[in-house]
């Protein structure tokens, strides 16, 4: 088994690096994918028979579906997939030592102002975590309210009926090629259940789930928000995720039951060799509210369109997203809102920044089914181009089968203006500081929705990115 | 008063970048510490070009002559270096920066003036900002608005004055700050300039204006008349009064090139 991994890129243009580590995996499947690999994954997780069958069925679907021909360039993906280890036992990731983490990654963490303990988690080092006490007291509070917040594996083990009733109901394996792939090889992710009427003030942060399987390549998350409940879930963070993988394909399923409110926040910054292909969808029932707050930085190609299926009368869906495409990166992101029931409403606000040769595409779907009377939807997408070589496109798909519906779409493209830069410089800021301030202003409508520490990190990250953008 | 000029403009020629003909055709000007100079002139005379060249606007280039500020060659400095050296331009048409509050904007501008590694203390900044706003009789809520975003003409000019009050320049160039203002807004601007001047008598001011009315509220030490890219007359406040009565026509006729 090869023991060296070459790790490239951090998502920060200034921090391209090559790095070799000698960690010995405890267990991993061989490169590539077949029935045997899937069986090994299932056996390692000690899964019930139905799950193994579900995985194998998903593998058939994955094999049968052609590679998507739309969105980003996936022509080199098959080669990556052939070399991918579809399952790596996570303990080996924990065995990496802090000393093995390259100096420039440490410096990036330092410059981002990330606390020491969190840095270790992000770098995939060690299980030690100072905030464990905090986590435990929160966990007690959650448990006293009947909230389940576990790894997806423990969810399956400890709550088999609840799990089986909902798993794959929002995003079936047949939904798309990568949903099928994830359904076949998923590993890691969260299982969340909020009982009826429970109102959680403290966000559920995936980050707290230490000593569990870390955010994996094929993470799978299943969230059930019961009637009248209210909660906020946060996944990921703005720091570059230090990963040996070059392919990430997650599936996030959320069920928001009657009159519940749920918000899912994720900010991810992948290393820039990464294909990031994620399916995330919420079923929103009568009178319920769902909000996706989605930030995508880094990666080679991201294809991700959080969606809300507004199934019950009066359901509301919101998607707020930021994409940042640096040199050589393509962010193909957006959102989908599907109006199935009457008096449903939705809003998509999407902002993208393209720098250097970066490209960001807004791809969105607004569909109103016949019978979804008085459906209202508004889409706003704004693109900011930093350099002459930066690129942006907009692909808004609108399908309306209901006469009585109102759908609005607004798109703007702007360039960082010379006059704006000059104005800020005439007040004493250098060009990079001026650029960063303009970009921060551009994303402010979304950043202000983030928890403070995330907004601060995002702003710092933008500053770091802008350092290399001028001159 | 100190005899050495804070700003010396000598034989300055300038044009819009990449265009053929000069707009400024040999401007000479010396401003000493604490002096208030006014440059008056008809539209197209080059007044605003002078302000932009002093600021370092990338759309303009100097072709001849020199601009020396406190002994330094201003023309070789970047706009941010000029600002940090103590030059402030109140612009005629300041642009909007959506999503960036005035407070955040000013904090970033002050932070940029610190040595690498030094952090501006947030509480000190807040105190300074409030004190400055009080001095100018501005509502604190004004600082929470996004810079010039949806501002009226008067609000934009107030914002320029507030920035000047916070950044405390040693030379303030007011580029047609009075244009498009009603009389109340004009008084606010004039009050601001006078207040800051009273607070720091060593601050020099260059007022660029089309109209004499601004000079009813701010009294200049020297008035220059600029026509077709040259200063054609300089004198005391009486020059402005004469202009008000006779207009620019006589200069135009006398100085046709």
The string of pLDDT tens digits covering residues A167-182 is: 999 999 999 999 999 9
pLDDT in the model for residue A6: 28
Task: Give the pair of three-digit tokens for residue A83.
Answer: 């070399």
| B109 vs A422, A429, A431: nearest CB | A429
Q: Determine if residue A14 is left, alpha or beta; phi over 0 gives left, psi from -120 to 50 gives alpha, anything else beta.
A: alpha
Closest chain B C-alpha to A429 CA, distance in angstroms = 5
Q: Spell out which residues of chain B touch residue A467, defining contact as CB-CB under 8 Å.
A: none
* pLDDT exceeds 60 at position A378: yes
Residue A431 to residue B84, Cβ atoms within 8 A: no
Residue A422 to residue B91, Cβ atoms within 8 A: no
pLDDT in the model for residue A114: 58
Chain A residues touching chain B at CB-CB below 8 Å: 417-420, 422-431, 433-434, 437-438, 440-445
| Mean of pLDDT values over A9-15 | 32
| Mean of pLDDT values over B133-151 | 93
pLDDT in the model for residue A236: 67
pLDDT in the model for residue B212: 83
Closest chain B C-alpha to A178 CA, distance in angstroms = 37
Q: In this structure, what are the phi and psi dihedrals at residue A366, rounded to the nearest 5 degrees?
A: -120, 115
d(CA A201, CA B167): 42
| Mean of pLDDT values over A206-227 | 70
DSSP codes, B57-114: -TTEEEEEEEEEETTEEGGGS-HHHHHHHTEEEE-SSPPP-TT-BHHHHHHHHHHTTS
Chain B (142-161) residues lying within 8 Å, Cβ to Cβ, of chain A: 146
Closest CA to A315 of A348, A341, A337: A341
* pLDDT exceeds 80 at position B90: yes
Q: Spell out which residues of chain A touch residue B146, defining contact as CB-CB under 8 Å.
A: 441
| Mean of pLDDT values over A125-142 | 55
Closest CA to B176 of B220, B218, B207: B207
| B94 vs A423, A425, A445: nearest CB | A423
Q: Where are the domains of chain B?
A: 7-253
Of the given ranges (A91-100, A288-297, B68-77, B173-182), which has the lowest mean pLDDT? A91-100
Would you place residue A137 in the very low, low, confident or very high pLDDT band (cuts 50, 70, 90)?
low
Q: How far is CA A436 from the centre of its chain?
A: 24
* pTM confidence score: 0.80
Query: Mind spelling out the 3-state secondary structure of A180-221?
Result: HHHHHHCCCCEEEEECCCCECCCCEEHHHCCCCCCCCCCCEE
Residue B78 to residue A445, Cβ atoms within 8 A: no
Residue A425 to residue B80, Cβ atoms within 8 A: yes
pLDDT in the model for residue A434: 93
User: Token match 């009377």: residue?
Assistant: A373
User: Token match 């990666």: residue?
Assistant: A299
Closest CA to A406 of A375, A364, A448: A375
Average pLDDT, chain B: 91
Residue B99 to residue A420, Cβ atoms within 8 A: no
Half-sphere exposure of A382 (CA within 13 A, CB side): 16
d(CA B198, CA B194): 6
| B58 vs A418, A433, A434: nearest CB | A418
B171 Cβ contact list (under 8 Å, min separation 6): B6, B7, B31, B69, B86, B87, B88, B203, B204, B205, B206
Q: Spell out which residues of chain A touch residue B84, defining contact as CB-CB under 8 Å.
A: 428
User: Token match 């998502």: residue?
Assistant: A11
Sheet bearing B171-175, strands edge to edge: B87-90, B171-175, B204-209, B36-40, B222-227, B230-235
| Mean of pLDDT values over B67-81 | 96
Would you place residue A117 in the very low, low, confident or very high pLDDT band (cuts 50, 70, 90)?
low
Of the given ranges (A6-15, A124-133, A227-236, A412-421), which has the lowest mean pLDDT? A6-15
Of the given ranges (A323-332, B46-55, B248-257), which has the lowest mean pLDDT? B248-257
% of chain A residues with pLDDT over 70:
79
pLDDT in the model for residue B257: 41
pLDDT in the model for residue A470: 54
Average pLDDT, chain A: 82
| Mean of pLDDT values over A246-265 | 94
| A427 vs B59, B109, B146: nearest CB | B109
ipTM: 0.94
Which candidate in B108, B144, B159, B160 is best for mutational testing of the A interface (most A CBs within 10 A)? B108
A243 Cβ contact list (under 8 Å, min separation 6): A7, A124, A270, A271, A274
Would you place residue B194 in the very low, low, confident or very high pLDDT band (cuts 50, 70, 90)?
very high
| A438 vs B59, B80, B97: nearest CB | B97
The string of pLDDT tens digits covering residues A266-285 is: 888 777 788 999 999 999 99
DSSP strand pairing (A247-248 vs A275-284): parallel
- Which is more confident, A6 or A137? A137
Name the residue of chain B whose CA is nearest to A417's CA.
B95
Would you place residue A99 in the very low, low, confident or very high pLDDT band (cuts 50, 70, 90)?
low
The string of pLDDT tens digits covering residues B10-37 is: 999 999 988 889 999 999 999 999 999 9
Residue A429 to residue B167, Cβ atoms within 8 A: no
* pLDDT exceeds 60 at position A15: no
Q: Does B85 contact chain A (CB < 8 Å)?
A: no
User: Token match 């309210």: residue?
Assistant: A145
B36: β partners = B205
Q: Are A224 and A262 in contact (CB under 8 A)?
A: no
Half-sphere exposure of A237 (CA within 13 A, CB side): 24
pLDDT in the model for residue A457: 74
d(CA B74, CA B52): 12
CB-based burial label for B35 (10 Å; 0-12, 13-18, 19+): buried
DSSP codes, A81-115: HHH-BS-B-THHHHBB-GGGS-HHHHHHHHHHT--
Q: Does B86 contact chain A (CB < 8 Å)?
A: no
pLDDT in the model for residue A244: 58
Task: Give the pair of three-digit tokens for residue A430.
Answer: 């250098």
Closest CA to A458 of A233, A215, A267: A267
Would you place residue A11 in the very low, low, confident or very high pLDDT band (cuts 50, 70, 90)?
very low
pLDDT in the model for residue A115: 56
The string of pLDDT tens digits covering residues B91-100 is: 989 999 999 9
Q: Are A462 and A443 in contact (CB under 8 A)?
A: yes
Compute and round to an integer the Cα radius of gyration of chain A: 22
User: Token match 């409403």: residue?
Assistant: A345
d(CA A21, CA A97): 10
Q: Are B206 and B171 in contact (CB under 8 A)?
A: yes
Strand runs (DSSP E) across A10-104, as ranges? 18-21
- Which is more confident, A208 or A466? A466
* pLDDT exceeds 70 at position A161: yes
d(CA A319, CA A248): 22
User: Token match 């209210």: residue?
Assistant: A230
DSSP strand pairing (B7-16 vs B60-69): antiparallel
Residue A420 to residue B83, Cβ atoms within 8 A: no
Q: Spell out which residues of chain A touch residue B91, defining contact as CB-CB under 8 Å.
A: 423, 426
Residue A444 to residue B163, Cβ atoms within 8 A: no
Q: Does B17 contact chain A (CB < 8 Å)?
A: no
Q: Does B247 contact chain A (CB < 8 Å)?
A: no
Closest CA to A91 of A44, A42, A38, A150: A44
Q: Spell out which residues of chain A touch residue B167, defining contact as CB-CB under 8 Å.
A: 427-428
d(CA B179, CA B210): 8
Q: Are A278 and A247 in contact (CB under 8 A)?
A: no
Name the residue of chain A whose CA is nearest to B101's CA.
A441
Closest CA to A54 of A164, A191, A190, A189: A164
Task: Give the pair of three-digit tokens for residue A415.
Answer: 């360039």
Closest CA to B7 of B237, B213, B203: B203
CATH of the domain spanning B7-253: 3.40.50.300
Residue A422 to residue B82, Cβ atoms within 8 A: no
Closest CA to B57 of B77, B85, B72: B77
Which candidate in B100, B150, B165 is best for mutational testing of the A interface (most A CBs within 10 A)? B100
DSSP codes, B116-156: TT----HHHHHHHHHHHHHHTT--GGGGGSBTTTT--HHHH
Please report the number of interchain residue pairs, chain A to chain B, with beta-carbon separation below 8 angstroms.
Answer: 79
Q: Are A50 and A110 in contact (CB under 8 A)?
A: no
Which candidate in B79, B104, B120, B171 is best for mutational testing of the A interface (most A CBs within 10 A)? B79
* pLDDT exceeds 70 at position A416: yes
Closest chain B C-alpha to A449 CA, distance in angstroms = 13
Q: Does B59 contact chain A (CB < 8 Å)?
A: yes
Closest CA to A459 of A80, A112, A72, A91: A112
Q: In this structure, what are the phi and psi dihedrals at residue B153, rounded to the nearest 5 degrees?
A: -55, -45
Would you place residue A93 in the very low, low, confident or very high pLDDT band (cuts 50, 70, 90)?
very low
- Which is more confident, A355 or A13? A355
* pLDDT exceeds 80 at position A118: no
């Amino acid at each position: 088994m090869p023991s060296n991994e070459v790790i490239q890129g951090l998502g920060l243009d200034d921090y391209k690096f090559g790095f070799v580590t000698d960690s010995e995996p405890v267990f991993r499947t061989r490169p590539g994918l077949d029935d045997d690999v899937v069986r090994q994954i299932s056996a390692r997780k000690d899964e019930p028979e139905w799950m193994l069958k579900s995985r194998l069925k998903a593998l058939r679907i994955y094999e049968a579906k052609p590679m998507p021909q739309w969105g980003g360039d996936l022509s080199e993906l098959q080669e990556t997939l052939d070399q991918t280890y579809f399952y790596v036992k996570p303990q080996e990731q924990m065995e990496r030592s802090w000393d093995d983490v390259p100096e420039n990654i440490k410096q990036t963490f330092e410059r981002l102002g990330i606390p020491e303990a969190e840095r270790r988690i992000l770098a995939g080092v060690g299980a030690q975590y100072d905030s464990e006490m905090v986590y435990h007291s929160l966990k007690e509070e959650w448990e006293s309210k009947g909230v389940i917040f576990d790894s997806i594996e423990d969810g399956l083990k400890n709550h088999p009926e609840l799990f089986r009733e909902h798993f794959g109901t929002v995003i079936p394996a047949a939904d798309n090629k990568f949903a099928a792939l994830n359904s076949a090889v998923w590993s890691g992710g969260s299982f969340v259940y909020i009982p009826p009427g429970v109102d959680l003030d403290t966000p559920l942060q995936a980050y707290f789930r230490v000593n569990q399987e870390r955010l994996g390549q094929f993470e799978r998350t299943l969230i059930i928000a019961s009637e009248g409940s209210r909660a906020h879930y946060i996944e990921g963070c703005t720091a570059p995720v230090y990963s040996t993988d070059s392919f990430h394909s997650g599936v996030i399923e959320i069920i928001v039951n009657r009159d519940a409110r749920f918000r899912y926040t994720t900010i991810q910054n992948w290393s820039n060799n990464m294909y990031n292909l994620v399916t995330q969808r919420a079923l929103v029932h009568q009178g319920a509210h769902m909000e996706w707050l989605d930030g995508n930085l880094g990666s080679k190609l991201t294809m991700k369109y959080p969606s809300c299926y507004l199934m019950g009368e009066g359901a509301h869906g919101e998607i707020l997203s930021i994409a940042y495409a640096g040199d050589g990166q393509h962010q193909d992101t957006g959102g989908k809102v599907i109006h199935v029931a009457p008096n449903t409403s939705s809003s998509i606000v999407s902002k993208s920044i393209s720098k250097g040769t970066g490209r960001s595409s807004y791809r969105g779907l607004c569909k109103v089914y016949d019978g979804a009377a008085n459906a209202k939807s508004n889409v706003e997408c704004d693109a900011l181009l930093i350099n002459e070589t930066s690129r942006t496109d907009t692909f808004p798909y609108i399908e309306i089968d209901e006469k009585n519906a109102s759908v609005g779409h607004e798109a703007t493209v702007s360039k960082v203006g010379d006059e704006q830069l000059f104005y800020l410089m005439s007040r004493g800021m250098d060009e990079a500081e001026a650029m960063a301030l303009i970009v921060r202003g551009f994303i402010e409508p979304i950043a202000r929705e983030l928890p403070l520490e995330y907004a601060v990190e995002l702003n710092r990250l933008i500053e770091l990115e802008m350092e290399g953008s001028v001159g | 008063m100190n005899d050495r000029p804070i700003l010396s403009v000598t034989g300055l020629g300038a044009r819009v970048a990449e265009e053929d003909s000069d707009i400024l055709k040999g401007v000479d000007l010396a401003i000493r510490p604490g002096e208030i100079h006014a440059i008056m002139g008809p539209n197209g005379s080059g007044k605003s070009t002078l302000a932009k060249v002093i600021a370092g606007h990338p759309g303009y280039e100097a072709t001849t002559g020199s601009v020396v500020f406190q002994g330094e060659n201003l023309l070789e400095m970047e706009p941010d270096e000029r600002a940090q050296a103590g030059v402030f331009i109140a612009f005629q048409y300041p642009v909007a920066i959506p999503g960036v509050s005035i407070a955040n904007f000013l904090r970033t501008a002050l932070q940029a003036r610190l040595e690498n590694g030094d952090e501006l203390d947030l509480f000190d900044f807040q105190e300074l900002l409030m004190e400055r706003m009080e001095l100018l009789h501005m509502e604190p809520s004004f600082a929470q608005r996004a810079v010039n975003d949806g501002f009226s003409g008067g609000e934009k000019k107030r914002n320029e004055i507030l920035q000047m009050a916070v950044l405390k320049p040693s030379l303030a160039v007011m580029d047609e700050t009075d244009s498009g203002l009603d009389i109340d807004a004009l008084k606010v601007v004039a009050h601001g300039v006078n207040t800051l001047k009273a607070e720091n008598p060593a601050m020099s001011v260059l007022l660029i204006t089309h109209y004499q009315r601004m000079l009813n509220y701010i009294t200049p030490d020297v008035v220059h008349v600029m026509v077709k890219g040259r200063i054609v007359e300089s004198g005391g406040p009486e020059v402005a009064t004469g202009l008000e009565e006779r207009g620019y026509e006589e200069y135009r006729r006398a100085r046709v090139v």
